[in-house]
Chain A
Amino acid sequence: MSPKIGVYICHCGTNIAGKVAIDEVVGFAKTLPNVAMVREYKFMCSEPGQNLIKDDIKKEKLDRVVVASCSPLMHEKTFRGACEAAGLNKYLLHMANIREHCSWVTEENAPATEKAKALIRGAVAKAALLEPLEKKEVKIHPHVMVIGGGIAGIQAALDIADSGRKVYLVEKDPSIGGHMAQFDKTFPTLDCAACILTPKMVQVGQHPNIELLSYSVVEKLEGFVGNFKATVRMKSRYVDLKKCNGCGDCWNKCPAWRVEKPKGEKKVVHNALTLGPPKAIYMPTLQSIPAVPVIDKESCIYFKNGKCQICVKTCPTGAVDHKMVDVVREIEIGSIIVATGYKLFDVTKMPQYGYGRYPNVLTGLEFEHLNCAAGSTGGQVLMENGEPPKSIAIIHCIGSRDKNYHEYCSRVCCMYALKFAHLVKEKTHAEVYDFYIDMRAFGKGFEEFYNRLLEEGVRFIRGKAAQISNEPIYPEEEGKLIVRVDDTLLGRVRRVPVDMVVLCSAIEATQDAQDVSRLLGLCHSRDGFFAEKHPKLAPVSTAIDGVFIAGCCQSPKDIPDTVAQASGAAAQAMMLAARGAIEIEAATALIDEDRCTGCRICNDLCPYHAIEFISDKKVSRVNDALCKGCGTCVAACPCSAIAAKQFKDNQLLAEIEGVLS
């Protein structure tokens, strides 16, 4: 029996109808073989549009549907749903893309109409050969793994744990808290970072549904949406997590410093500021969770010469053990949230700013450490000689908005620069010069914050600083750092002598993130950050089902945006878990085991690791749960033993013939 095909042509408002002569195409479609019904409608995706399809399937007994409209990425799901609702196997739908592939990209009307006809002719020819496929479901494991314990990971973990589901929070550092735990105040409201973050960190530590794997890295990941298996290496911290009570006797007695110790003239070492104890046995901050120190192998005396062990002798609970080894464990989860954060741009790549050559040139993060009340200077803004500065330059866009380094805007620097300016004004009598290209104050309360700083008497200079030097030309520059800048409002080059310089370095993707992406198969965008599934409508999803992203690993963003995104990712993971099962791609590849020679070429080529080799039968087999139907194996198979369902040779050839005839 020959198939009965219904063809539905969408105007998409004027998107398609503005270029393609719909009436002509309708008349043409009616002449095509096997076509039993042709309709056109302003918006096929609307409810009345879908109802046209549903009614025809029922009344006219259509057994194939062709919708000529937009890209299947946009609405295939919609029209498949309509077919299914009317009782037709949803894989008997085929779409002709006459918008993105035709009306949007064709300048003249007549050729657009001709192209639409050709695409529809091809679609009809293929539709006639479509075969019904079986819907497939897999179960979802209810547990979730969050990678990264910064504010994004913390928020996501807490949201999921509060919904009653188990979360594994994997953090590579000895404590959770990430960058936020190293900040003093947060813009624009100036609330203390520790005051708002510490309670959340404590909650994570105490939550019955959260298992915190600190100082740990994910080494291996297998499986697919709903059924992942992760191998996690818990690095040895040389202090027993259960025995330690966090008293601090060990670091008080430890004789070894892990950072440069201030000496002589150098009363403050800006690149060695710490928020926790500066010793070899330490916690990153005093609010660390878990509140258990770790031994830095590089600086520990015992690891150098086998002697010392003062910490072992001091510890009242016997928790320190230099012989402790890494523990590797496997965990099973249904979905993963990646929140691996960012790193700061290496400012030594721009030697013109003298970082590392001149004292008192600091990165933004070092300046945070300097300001932090828990830091080495108790929050006092001091130069390396221990004196407060009389003037400070804050320079925006170091490595951001610069085609030589990162073209993108790092989004947070303008506001943290303002925050720094405010803190300096609050704590010292220093004159503050803020060098900006554009003041980007786009967020809630940002412009108000900028206005406030204008009133606080900060000197804003519009222009990217070109160079920092210690080279005086005029007497007032003696002993100062001189900022050369093209002041674009004044229209001339200026030299501004200051005592201290803060470089607002760019936010960039981390090396760890690259390792994580290799493990998970995540994609990057050109800037190095993880690519989301859709920049607007699926901002926390990724190309890998069941893997979500949140925070600065996706793009630079501030704390409010990070928290919002983390909650979004948590909601996605919870949605999966709550559903219990998920429908997966039915149009998978199928290996004809009689023709397969067991050459295994396809095994390594599969980007989803979906093909396994059955050694006793000496053939390869596709795991339907993993296969995305990409077709790589189909093209590679030297024996033509693999077919992609819905993209079989006869179907594709029919479509090509249809388009070309």
Chain B
Amino acid sequence: MALKKEYLYYPGCSLHSSATSYDDSSRAVLEALGSKVVEIDDWNCCGATAYMAIKEMTAFTISARNLAIAEKKGDHVVAPCSGCYVGLSKANNYIKEFPEVHKKVNTALAEGGLSYNGTVHVRHVMDLFVHDLGADELKKFVKKPLKDLKVGCYYGCQIIRPKNEIDSPEYPTTMEKLMEACGATAVDFVMKAFCCGGAILGTEEAIGLRLIKNLMQSAKRNGAQILVTPCPLCQMNLDAYQRRAAKKYGMKFDIPILYFTQLIGLAMGISPKKLGFGKEIVSAKSVLKQFL
């Protein structure tokens, strides 16, 4: 197994704003593994999950514009954000499966001088590690093994549910294999596919904080020194709200939340600066001091 020479890259809004460390680390890791990362021109919003629930056709069209632009340049589009990945994949699948959707979307795209033939594959960064590279291959690139580091792998909901080509929706184990390949110890983390609260923290904070408390409590009990995730929203919720949740429930959490690509990059010997370290709210400095 090997990565492709080149991947088209769809960062989405998060990776250009709140999740720049995910952006930096994804690009740095893929390039260090020998793949060129080409950001697609003039991309727009992925349609996001919320839009899809309200105006499906419009959301499909918004997503399809990105796919149509990508199609001119290649066939594999990587979307590191789980939300973007789900949005683009869903639009892509509907367009491929239902000719009437395809027709409507193309009618709209034609107004902007575009059309989409349905030849693009939407990929997630984790999917590249599973299907194109493989944990065994990754091991060969590890220069600074993350020895004795206890990592909890937190998947969130989007990339593995409901139907997916990446991992078991019930009990995923892919990231654990990647972390083990990097020399870290993956702890048993039962809540790894449970909800982080998603967007609910903005409207129903009490419920969101309870979910975060459950997750952090489980991570702590299992001895995780650090949590890694493939999702910007998960990262933000756990990073930004863990202390508020701890205060509300009279507990203490101090677990840095990183992107899995950051730890992979670190193990590969890429400089921490290139991987966006230092941008997390709960600092990873003390836990990772021997590797940084």
Contacts and interface: CB of A to CB of B under 8 A. Distances in A.
A471 B213 CA distance: 13
Interface of B: 168, 170-171, 173, 188, 190-191, 214, 217-218, 221
B191 A351 contact: no
Nearest to B218: A471
Contacts, number: 20
Contacts of A467: 170, 190
20 contacts: A350-B170, A350-B171, A351-B168, A351-B170, A351-B171, A351-B173, A352-B170, A352-B171, A357-B188, A467-B170, A467-B190, A469-B190, A469-B191, A470-B190, A471-B190, A471-B191, A471-B218, A471-B221, A473-B214, A473-B217
B222 to A, nearest CB: 8
B42 to A, nearest CB: 41
Those 10 A-B pairs whose CB atoms lie nearest each other, nearest first: A351-B171, A352-B170, A469-B190, A471-B190, A352-B171, A471-B218, A473-B214, A471-B191, A357-B188, A350-B170
A351 B173 CA distance: 10
A469 B173 CA distance: 16
Contacts of A350: 170-171
A494 B172 CA distance: 22
Contacts of A473: 214, 217
B1 to A, nearest CB: 24
Interface of A: 350-352, 357, 467, 469-471, 473
Nearest to A350: B170
Contacts of B171: 350-352
Nearest to A470: B190
Most buried by A among B188, B190, B218: B190
Contacts of B170: 350-352, 467
Nearest to A469: B190
A473 B173 CA distance: 23
A473 B214 CA distance: 7
Nearest to A466: B170
Nearest to A349: B168
B139 to A, nearest CB: 23
Interface SS majority for chain B: helix
Nearest to B171: A351
A352 B160 CA distance: 14
Contacts of A470: 190
Contacts of A471: 190-191, 218, 221
Contacts of B168: 351
A91 B171 CA distance: 62
A457 to B, nearest CB: 31
Nearest to A468: B190
B214 to A, nearest CB: 6
Nearest to A473: B214
A359 B173 CA distance: 20
A369 B188 CA distance: 29
B153 to A, nearest CB: 14
B64 to A, nearest CB: 30
A524 B214 CA distance: 47
A483 to B, nearest CB: 13
A469 B190 CA distance: 7
A500 B191 CA distance: 20
A467 B168 CA distance: 13
A503 to B, nearest CB: 14
A352 B173 CA distance: 11
A25 to B, nearest CB: 43
Contacts of A352: 170-171
A352 B193 CA distance: 11
B175 to A, nearest CB: 14
A350 to B, nearest CB: 7
A346 to B, nearest CB: 15
Nearest to B221: A471
B290 to A, nearest CB: 30
Contacts of A357: 188
Nearest to B214: A473
A357 B189 CA distance: 12
B194 to A, nearest CB: 10
Contacts of A351: 168, 170-171, 173
A469 B221 CA distance: 13
A308 B11 CA distance: 68
Nearest to B173: A351
Contacts of A469: 190-191
Contacts of B191: 469, 471
A586 to B, nearest CB: 52
A357 B171 CA distance: 13
B88 to A, nearest CB: 26
Nearest to B168: A351
Contacts of B221: 471
A397 to B, nearest CB: 14
A470 B221 CA distance: 11
Contacts of B218: 471
A357 B190 CA distance: 11
Given A469-B190, A473-B214, 4 more contacts: A351-B170, A352-B170, A471-B190, A471-B191
B228 to A, nearest CB: 19
A62 to B, nearest CB: 58
B259 to A, nearest CB: 24
A35 B221 CA distance: 89
A619 to B, nearest CB: 52
A355 to B, nearest CB: 11
B71 to A, nearest CB: 33
A176 B214 CA distance: 51
Most buried by A among B171, B173, B217: B171
A469 B222 CA distance: 12
Contacts of B214: 473
A351 B168 CA distance: 9
Contacts of B190: 467, 469-471
Nearest to A471: B190
Nearest to B213: A473
A467 B191 CA distance: 10
A639 to B, nearest CB: 49
Nearest to B189: A471
A350 B217 CA distance: 25
A4 B191 CA distance: 81
B158 to A, nearest CB: 18
Nearest to A354: B190
A352 B168 CA distance: 10
